[in-house]
């Protein structure tokens, strides 16, 4: 049985089809999306797709990722060959950061320096990439992008630490500024900013209960995940600030920031998600101000609170047919879905954070997505 979607790998201008299985991932939170493709062994194709080949992968003519082949494997018994790798951000994850002092640069300048030569552009809008990713199917009306201030100075101190990777420095700069970053599907640019939760829903995802009156499309599986294992009712960040001849009081030498899961309870933060106290203390060496310490504590809480409520869905195929008989609108990160779960009585909008596109003999063509309620703050 053939595939419903047309999967192509393009390298050196050559289009290669005939893939019998694959797995691609794209995420706003995890750089360097991995990919793997499988097909019957063919010596000509084996010789064409070398290790470190620059490849582009398309679904129904829509570019899903551009990256490099990291590994190839052939099996005499199975008569197959498998090619795997990561998108172009893999180079940023693996390479050491240039030994440059980024202090005094703007965030945009620092990202441009860190992204080259693998990405020539840094953009503040994901609109082009989002249009590219969802393909040629029906789209909702274009929404304005979140406004960010990118010309502020890099909120970090000193030189790059020995051994730090490009992505580690980019993560630190972005997180301290309250931003996240990812690459475009075509490998042309790096986006830095905030996810767009203000879009209209692009998809409808329904988990029906028995005897439902709702018409599909239905999901194959839906999981509600609420995880407090790595969360805290209270997070305190404490340290010191540099004293000066004119300013050496305790408010300088003792900097601290505190955040609570339940802001109404300033004692231990219980009363919302936590029944019993769970506290965390983060020591840091130096802060510019109490506000700086508060920002660090708040960012730590945001990163951990991502797991507070996640919906994971598995759906057939890699998009929805929003127009009967038309072209499917492909699922993509940084888009919004209307989720209706009649079992949990959920009827709300969710931001799609990552997508995994797969095809195998047992499960067919499926897409697995992780989503959080629109408005959820996200940091790396």
With a pLDDT cut of 70, the percent of the chain lying above it is 90
DSSP string across 40-56: E--HHHHHHS-TT-EEE
Which of 72-86, 156-170, 195-209, 321-335 is least confident?
Answer: 156-170
Residues 114 and 95: beta-carbon distance below 8 Å: no
State how far the Cα of 230 lies from the Cα of 249, in Å rounded to an integer.
35
Residues 170 and 182: beta-carbon distance below 8 Å: no
Say if strands 364-373 and 310-316 run parallel, antiparallel, or are unpaired.
antiparallel
pLDDT tens by residue, 172-205: 888 888 899 999 999 999 999 999 999 999 999 9
pLDDT tens by residue, 285-304: 566 677 778 888 899 999 99
Domain parsing of the chain, residue ranges: 7-87, 92-193, 203-226+309-373, 234-305
Q: Which two tokens stand for residue 206?
A: 């329904």
pTM of the model: 0.90
State how far the Cα of 266 lies from the Cα of 260, in Å rounded to an integer.
7
The more confidently predicted of residues 358 and 211 is: 358
pLDDT tens by residue, 308-332: 999 999 999 999 987 777 788 999 9
Query: Residue 48: which residues within 8 A CB-CB, separation 6 or more?
Result: 11, 12, 14, 16
Q: Do domains 7-87 and 92-193 have the same CATH topology?
A: no
**CATH H-level superfamily of 92-193:** Baseplate protein-like domains (3.55.50.10)
Topology of the domain covering 203-226+309-373: Phage tail proteins - horseshoe like beta roll fold (2.30.300)
- Taking all residues of the chain, what is their mean pLDDT, rounded to a whole number? 89
Q: Return the closest-CA partner of residue 23 out of 15, 14, 33.
A: 33
Residue at token pair 């600030």:
241
Paired strand residues for 16: 9
Residues 354 and 26: beta-carbon distance below 8 Å: yes
Report whether the peptide linkage leading into residue 216 is cis, meaning its omega lies within 30 degrees of zero.
no
Collapsed DSSP state (helix, strand, coil) of residue 24: strand
In CATH, the number for domain 7-87 is: 2.30.300.10
* Residue length of the chain: 380
On the question of pLDDT at 214 being above 50, the answer is yes
pLDDT given for residue 369 in this prediction: 98
**CA dihedral in degrees (127, 128, 133, 139; nearest 10)?**
60
- Grade residue 52 by pLDDT with cuts at 50, 70 and 90: very high
């Amino acid at each position: 049985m053939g595939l419903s979607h047309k999967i192509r790998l393009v390298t050196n201008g050559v289009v290669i089809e005939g893939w019998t299985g694959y797995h691609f991932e794209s995420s706003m939170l995890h750089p360097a999306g991995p990919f793997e493709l499988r097909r019957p062994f063919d010596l000509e194709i084996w010789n064409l797709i070398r290790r470190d080949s620059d490849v582009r992968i398309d679904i129904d003519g829509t570019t899903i990722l551009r990256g490099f082949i990291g590994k190839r494997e052939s099996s005499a018994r199975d008569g197959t060959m498998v090619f795997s790798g990561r998108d172009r951000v893999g180079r940023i994850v693996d390479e050491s950061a240039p030994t440059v002092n980024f202090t005094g640069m703007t965030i945009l300048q620092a990202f441009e320096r860190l992204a080259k030569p693998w990405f020539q552009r840094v953009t503040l809008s994901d609109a082009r990439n989002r249009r590219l990713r969802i393909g040629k199917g029906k789209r909702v009306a274009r929404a304005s992008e979140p406004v960010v201030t990118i010309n502020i100075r890099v909120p970090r101190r000193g030189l790059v630490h020995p051994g730090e990777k490009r992505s580690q420095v980019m993560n630190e700069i972005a997180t301290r500024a309250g931003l996240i970053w990812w690459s475009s599907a075509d490998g042309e640019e790096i986006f830095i900013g905030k996810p767009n939760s203000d879009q209209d829903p692009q998809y409808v995802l329904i988990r029906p209960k028995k005897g439902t009156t709702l018409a599909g499309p239905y999901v194959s599986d839906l999981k509600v995940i609420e995880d407090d294992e790595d969360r805290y009712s209270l997070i305190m960040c404490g340290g010191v600030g540099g004293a000066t001849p004119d300013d050496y009081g305790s408010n300088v030498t003792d900097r601290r920031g505190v955040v609570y899961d339940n802001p109404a309870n300033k004692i231990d933060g219980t009363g919302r998600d936590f029944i019993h106290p769970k506290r965390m203390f983060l020591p840091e060496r130096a802060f510019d101000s109490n506000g700086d310490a508060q920002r660090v504590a708040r960012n730590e809480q945001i990163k951990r609170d991502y797991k507070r409520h996640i919906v994971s869905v598995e759906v057939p195929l890699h998009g929805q047919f929003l127009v009967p008989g038309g072209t499917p609108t492909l699922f993509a990160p940084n888009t919004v879905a209307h989720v209706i779960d009649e079992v949990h009585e959920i009827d709300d909008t969710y931001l799609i954070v990552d997508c995994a596109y797969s095809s195998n003999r047992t499960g067919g063509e499926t897409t697995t997505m992780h989503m959080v309620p629109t408005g959820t703050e996200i940091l790396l």
